[in-house]
């Protein structure tokens, strides 16, 4: 199954290379999830002391209080309703609940061209994510157009221009200080006229504490809809996994400004607390669409809840 089909919701399973995922989650697996697997793997019930240990472990991995309480309550309810089977451990049951928490339904709307808006603060890997996704779509034979709507920093435009040149993918840019809404509008109009499959629009890494900048981002969102009814079809909030609980505040503000439809979690290979994925989903109710687990273009993976949890709890 190809990335394009998965992106458009044509298939239910994400094409996530198991080796890259397993290697990318090694830090998280070794420092926390390995302890969870070893502690609960042989237990056949949930005692009060076990519940306290589980809560402590989840919180120490940046799972966050909301997701932690959700999981604990779901585990208790599940055990009351259906006791563990003869060959089932407490970890088996918890694994099912972890996967279920991350499985947020998402049905991408139809759109031609398919417009994706990328938002997030500076330094989270947003522009790199745009480029990696563009590369992977192009390798599948899709006609891709980039839009440089981060007009507040010359370096951002230069970075996307460099990627455009390297990948051989056209870029709509107007230079530093230009109206980001105008860049967005022009990119979508060009894509309509020249029959592109997908438009990937990079936006400014707006500090989530700067209200005027968030208002400007909301304007970009509205302009996309004027350029093409139904656009943007996705608004992906890019979050750096190494920032921990600060990512929750970012998600809250960006979600209010742009009606985010999904998350991209980058730099998971650089953190020992991959539990932030659960915290983000529990708070935002948004699906994780992609995760970054390395430096290469192939290390931007479509997200699969089952693959993610299985890899966290796997033996090295």
Residues composing the chain: 316
Euclidean distance between CA atoms 189 and 224, whole angstroms: 10
What mean pLDDT value characterizes the chain?
A: 88
What is the pLDDT averaged over residues 284-304?
A: 90
To the nearest whole percent, how much of the chain has pLDDT over 90?
52
What is the pLDDT averaged over residues 262-276?
A: 89
Q: Shortest CA distance to 238 belongs to which of 116, 125, 104?
A: 125
- What is the predicted pLDDT for the residue at 74? 95
pLDDT at 36 over 60: yes
Q: Which residue has the higher pLDDT, 217 or 272?
A: 217
Q: Which residue has the higher pLDDT, 245 or 94?
A: 94
Euclidean distance between CA atoms 197 and 137, whole angstroms: 10
Q: Which segment of 163-172, 219-228, 265-274 scores lowest on mean pLDDT?
A: 265-274
- What is the predicted pLDDT for the residue at 270? 86
Q: Which residue has the higher pLDDT, 76 or 211?
A: 76
- Per residue, what are the HEC states of 294-316? CCCHHHEEECCHHHHHHHHCCCC
Determine whether domain 25-102 maps to CATH 1.20.120.140.
Answer: yes
pLDDT at 213 over 80: no
Of the pLDDT bands very low, low, confident and very high (cuts 50, 70, 90), residue 279 is very high
DSSP strand pairing (300-302 vs 144-149): unpaired
pLDDT at 118 over 90: yes
- What is the predicted pLDDT for the residue at 218? 86
Of the pLDDT bands very low, low, confident and very high (cuts 50, 70, 90), residue 13 is low
Non-local (6+) Cβ contacts of 143 within 8 A are 195, 196, 197, 198
| Angle between helical axes of 65-81 and 48-60 (0-180°, round to 10) | 150
Of the pLDDT bands very low, low, confident and very high (cuts 50, 70, 90), residue 211 is low
What is the pLDDT averaged over residues 25-53?
A: 77
pLDDT at 41 over 90: no
Q: Which segment of 18-27, 66-75, 162-171, 194-203 scores lowest on mean pLDDT?
A: 18-27
CATH architecture of the domain formed by 3-18+108-312: 3-Layer(aba) Sandwich (3.40)
DSSP per-residue string spanning the chain:
--HHHHHTTS-SS----HHHHHHHTHHHIIIIIHHHHHHHTT--S--HHHHHHHHHHHHHTT--HHHHHHHHHHHHHHHHHSPPPTT--HHHHHHHHHHHHH-----PPP-SSEEEEEE--TTSSHHHHHHHHHHHHHHTT--EEEEEE--S-HHHHHHHHHHHHHHT--EE---TTS-HHHHHHHHHHHHHHTT-SEEEEEE----TT-HHHHHHHHHHHHHHHHHSTT--SEEEEEEEGGGTTHHHHHHHHHHHHH---EEEEE-GGG-S-TTHHHHHHHHH-PPEEEEE-SSSGGGEEE--HHHHHHHHTS--
CB atoms near residue 246 (< 10 Å) = 14
Judge contact between 51 and 79, C-beta under 8 A.
no
pLDDT at 14 over 60: yes
DSSP per-residue string spanning 235-256:
EEEEEEGGGTTHHHHHHHHHHH
The structural domains of the chain, with segments of one domain joined by +, span 3-18+108-312, 25-102
């Amino acid at each position: 199954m190809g990335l394009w089909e998965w992106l458009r919701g044509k298939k239910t399973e994400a094409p996530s290379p198991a080796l890259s995922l397993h290697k990318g989650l090694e830090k998280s697996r070794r420092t926390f999830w390995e302890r969870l697997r070893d502690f609960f793997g042989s237990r056949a019930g949930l005692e009060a002391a076990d519940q306290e240990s589980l809560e402590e472990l989840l919180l120490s991995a940046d799972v966050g209080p909301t997701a932690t309480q959700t999981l604990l309550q779901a585990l208790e309810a599940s055990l009351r309703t259906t006791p563990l089977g003869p060959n089932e451990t407490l970890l088996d049951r918890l694994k099912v609940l972890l996967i279920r928490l991350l499985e947020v339904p998402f049905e991408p709307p139809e759109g031609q061209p398919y417009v994706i808006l990328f938002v997030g603060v500076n330094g989270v890997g947003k522009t790199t994510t745009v480029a990696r996704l563009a590369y992977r779509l192009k390798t599948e034979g899709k006609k891709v157009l980039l839009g440089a709507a981060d007009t507040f920093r010359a370096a951002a435009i230069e970075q996307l221009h460099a990627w455009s040149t390297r990948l051989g993918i056209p870029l709509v840019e107007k230079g530093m200080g230009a109206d980001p809404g105008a860049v967005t509008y022009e990119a979508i109009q060009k894509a309509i006229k020249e029959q592109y499959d997908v438009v990937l629009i990079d936006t400014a890494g707006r500090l989530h504490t700067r209200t005027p900048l968030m208002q400007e981002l909301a304007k970009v969102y509205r302009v996309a809809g004027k350029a093409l009814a139904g656009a943007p079809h996705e608004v992906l909030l890019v979050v750096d996994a190494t920032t921990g609980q600060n990512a929750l505040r970012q998600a809250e503000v960006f979600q209010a400004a742009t009606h985010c439809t999904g998350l991209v979690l980058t730099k998971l290979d650089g953190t020992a607390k991959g539990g932030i994925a659960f915290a983000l989903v529990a708070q935002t109710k948004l699906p994780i669409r992609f995760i970054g687990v390395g430096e290469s273009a192939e290390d931007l993976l479509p997200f699969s809840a089952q693959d993610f949890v299985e890899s966290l709890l796997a033996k090295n």
